[in-house]
């Protein structure tokens, strides 16, 4: 390859690079590409369809976030209710509970029957739950989906198209309206 061919390609790419710069003001055109040049609305109807797609994608984003929050609560409850296997040579469950100062008096049902005068301990989680493949793999996959959908929505907003921007906001509003109550953490245990 000769140096002249390289110079021409670099000069043509620098001149075409300036024409491909991103707009820094909102536009109201109906032919703004979304994600690729192949997805360029050619009519008002296809532009409306693209906006509806963005609304649905934003609703899906909020639904995925709500589903992850619900699953986090489920995984935590499952962890707190986990039963442990008695090991030979260790103290009994009733003996272990008796020594816990945070326990309340109640009865404990074991394989041998009811043991009276034992304490029931409520599990209080301090720090993260232990790593488990059955929990952390689905958690990571959900986060991957949420990040992917969120970045697609961000790219749609970065086109600086008013219709796309309003569609993403509208979808986020509708999604929050529908499933926002599942996303909120319950800090008071009610």
20: three-class secondary structure by DSSP: coil
- Specify whether the CB–CB gap between 92 and 187 falls below 8 A: no
Predicted confidence (pLDDT) per residue in 101-139, tens digit: 666 555 555 655 555 444 444 555 567 778 888 899 999
What's the confidence (pLDDT) of residue 131?
86
Mapping DSSP onto H, E and C, the string for 24-49 reads: CCCECCCCCCECECCCCCCCHHHHHH
Domain ranges for the chain, please list them. Answer: 39-78+131-183, 82-122
Give the per-residue pLDDT at 65: 96
| 60-113 per-position pLDDT tens digit | 999 999 999 999 999 888 887 765 544 555 566 566 666 666 665 555 556 555
> In 81-119, which residue ranges form alpha helices assigned H by DSSP?
93-98
Give the CA count within 13 Å in the CB-facing half-sphere of 130: 5
Q: How far apart are CA 16 and CA 72, in angstroms?
A: 49
Strands (E), 87-187: 104-110, 113-120
């Amino acid at each position: 390859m000769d140096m002249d061919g390289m110079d021409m390609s670099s000069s043509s790419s620098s001149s075409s690079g300036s024409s491909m710069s991103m707009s820094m003001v909102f536009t109201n055109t109906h032919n703004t590409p979304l994600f690729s040049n192949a997805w360029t609305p050619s009519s008002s109807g296809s532009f409306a369809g693209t906006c509806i797609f963005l609304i649905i994608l934003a609703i899906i984003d909020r639904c995925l976030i709500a589903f992850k929050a619900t699953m986090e609560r489920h995984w935590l409850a499952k962890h707190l209710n986990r039963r442990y296997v008695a090991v030979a040579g260790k103290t009994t469950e009733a003996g272990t509970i008796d020594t816990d100062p945070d326990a309340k008096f109640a009865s404990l049902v074991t394989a041998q029957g009811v043991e009276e005068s034992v304490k029931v301990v409520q599990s209080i989680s301090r720090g993260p739950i232990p790593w488990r493949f059955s929990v952390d793999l689905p958690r990571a996959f959900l986060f991957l989906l949420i990040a992917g959908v969120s970045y697609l929505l961000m790219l749609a907003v970065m086109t600086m198209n008013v219709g796309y921007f309003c569609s993403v906001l509208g979808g986020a509003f509708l999604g929050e309206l529908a499933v926002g109550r599942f996303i909120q953490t319950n800090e008071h245990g009610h």
